[in-house]
Structure 1
Amino acid sequence: MTTVPFIELNDGVSIPQLGFGVFQVEPDETQATVEKALEVGYRHIDTARIYGNEKGVGAALAASDVARDDLFVTTKLWNSHQGYDSTLRAFDASMEKLGLDVLDLYLIHWPTPANDTFVDTWKAFEQIKADGRVRSIGVSNFRMQDLQRLFDEGLTVPSVNQIELHPALTQDTLRAFHAEHGIATEAWSPLAQGAVLQEKAVTDVAAAHGAEPGQVVLAWHLALGNIVFPKSVTPERIESNFASTGLTLSEDELQAISAINRDERVGPDPSEVS
């Protein structure tokens, strides 16, 4: 039986280290896809307001016989909803679509530094948490200077920062900053949209273990301590990704995969998103 490890966040909440992402999953496919993920054994579901599929996630949760206490659900605030009052309204809208009374993790999707609204937005997040409507609050795509701004304002340290992270973009400096401040690292685009699966270091390790390249990269993430949530709508791939928790890589193998790094993004630079 595959066992998913948990990570304890800085607020004492435990989060499954392997989750299931629904980025670019079509709304009309979301319920069935998430139901399949729950059937396979995933208990951590990551969505966002901008994905347009919170309602499908909520329908899958409602249809599942998995106890609510065994589920971990994340959604994210979109950029155009930043600001104190608009954040509170957006949270209510997301919760209605998800059909939940309490959310497990709420994230600011992007810092949008040019707009200078994430501090007021974070204060709204603190209020939502104080009201008991979310267990943990965090951020996504924040740079070190964005995180430092929150610290300088004397605000709550985020529980997580969800960032683009994969073997071609290992984010060593930012990950070290997270560790220094007790922030868990979550990795989006963990396979670089498949771009790293043909790397020799990955295929060599896959061959040595009789595993698939995607499983190797996910096992690398887990070994580094990253929280990761691969996305797929293919039942076989959903199962294959979940099996990555049973794969243990040697230190030499981990280092070989990390050496792929070339600081190469497949997504946008957070400093340029507004």
Structure 2
Amino acid sequence: MRQIFSLAGWNWRLARRAYGILCGVFAVEQLAVLLFIASRSNMLGMGLAACYEEGYQFPVFLAVLLLAGLLAGPAVNDWKRAKCSYTWLTLPVPPAARLAAQVLTAAVLQLGVVALQLVLYLVYFFPVQALDSARALDKLGTAMPAQSLYEQVMLSDSLYWLLPRRPVQFVLLAVTVLASALLLTCVRLHRGWRRAAAVAIGVVCGVCCLLLFQWEKDFALYGAYDALVRNTLLTAAVLVVLVIFSIWWALRAIRRAETA
């Protein structure tokens, strides 16, 4: 475990500058988009949740989440840092420990983006609310009824996926982050057609995770019925098989690089 944490710390030191820039750009972009959307005449009184959806901020968040995971592996195959790559390959550490360190770093970076998105949503409620109230006072001559932060959180369909309400949702979120971290690590490890195959596997696993989230919601709303149970089990089985195969393939890639 100590070797894993040491390698993860090394990965973090290599990625922290780019990660900080990515998070800063994301924060500024989201504030600018939300204020622009809130300033439109047809969005008067709609609130933060509507502005967030109208500005397509959840897809932007997903893109930042994937980029954060890709930042976790600069020591693996950065051509500008050949010495780092060589050191990583020649460390007296088992391949499984190296893979675990990469996945751990990617998962931590992605969890940081999730936490950042939640904090930004809470913080940006106030400038959006202030702009909305000022526009209402200017156009209508009276202040809009105050909207609560709790209402805007509950009205956001996107935050439903980031704020688990049930234990199964929490498990699905953890599985999604870990699977995403693993698959993004595999994308960085492989080369050529293998990288394209790793991307395809990642897309399939992403679709599986989205389906499992949606079907968990259907379980809570409608209960268990045959088609839903069958589809859930089949999708979970596909996800498990692809994740296990990706682990084996990543370890094989590390061993192959060692002997190159």
TM-score above 0.5: no
More strand by share: 1
Q: Which has the higher contact order (CA 8 A, sep 6+)?
A: 2
Larger relative helix fraction: 2
Greater Rg by CA: 2
